Amino acid sequence: MLKRIILFACLLVLLPTTALAHTELKSSMPSDKETVTKPLTEIVLEFNTPIENLSTFTLLDKKGQKVKVDNISVEDKVLKGTFKKPLPNGEYTVNWKIVGEDGHIIERSFIFTVNAPEEKKLTPTETTEKTPAPKDNKQETKPNKPESTNNDKNNFMMYLFIGASLVVLLIITTLLLRRGK
């Protein structure tokens, strides 16, 4: 009987650790603090688990004014917003709010800057032949790493739960051994 109780307590300690994993931002395009040098017509956020259709984001300019996103869609682990026209140059904040697969609501934000070459407007005396074609600047995309404070918080909660489970296991074992005497 004592072996069964100890085995059950050990399983209790090991199983809940998987439930502590919340949905986190795996990558984004553009990434946090990135300067985009090409015309930007979409924002893509990818998460480590599937997200619910209620998930969304808002885009704010440097003045805190809301920027219209023409279409926001959710597909499995990806939240995408598109624009009919490229975003004007400037600094932007993406405030995202998702409902994870586990039902938890998670809100975070990141910033990026658009610094794309602006199209030169032709005067009546200029022709398109005189206008040099813009060079294709390859944009290096770095994945947006989740905030380390969020990971630290999740790790702390996991260790706290494991420690509390071990204390409960120790108390149960002690009580059972005293009962047996």
Cβ 181 vs Cβ 71: under 8 Å: no
Confidence (pLDDT) at 138:
46
Residue 127: predicted pLDDT:
52
What is the residue whose two structure tokens read 């040098």?
37
- What confidence tens digit (pLDDT) does each residue in 65-90 have? 999 999 999 999 999 999 999 999 99
What does the pLDDT average to over 5-28? 69
Q: List phi, psi (to 5°) of 141.
A: -105, 125
Confirm if 43 and 81 have CB atoms less than 8 A apart: yes
Question: What pLDDT score was predicted for residue 142?
Answer: 46
Which of 61, 54, 34, 37 is closest to 97 using CA atoms?
54
Read out DSSP for 45-76? EEESS-B-TT-EEEEEETTSPEEPPSEEEEET
Task: Check pLDDT > 90 for residue 20.
Answer: no
Residue % of the chain over a pLDDT of 70: 66
Give 122-150 pLDDT, tens digit per residue: 555 555 555 555 555 444 444 444 444 44
pLDDT of residue 124: 59
Position 85 scores a pLDDT of 95
What is the rounded CA–CA span in Å between residue 108 and residue 100? 13
Selection from 4-13, 38-47, 153-162, 171-180 with the highest mean pLDDT: 38-47
> What pLDDT does 171 receive?
87
Enumerate domains of the chain plus CATH numbers: 23-112 (2.60.40.1220)
Question: Distances in Å between the alpha carbon of 177 and those of 6, 7, 8, 174, 180?
Answer: 11, 15, 16, 5, 5
> HEC string of 22-49?
CCCEEEEECCCCEEECCCCCEEEEEECC
What six digits make up the tokens of 105?
């609501």
Q: What is the DSSP string of 116-167?
A: PPPPPPPPTT--TTTSPPPP-PPPP--PPPPPHHHHHHHHHHHHHHHHHHHH
pLDDT in tens, 30-52: 999 999 999 999 999 999 999 99
Whether residue 113 contacts residue 32, with contact meaning beta carbons closer than 8 Å, is answered with: no
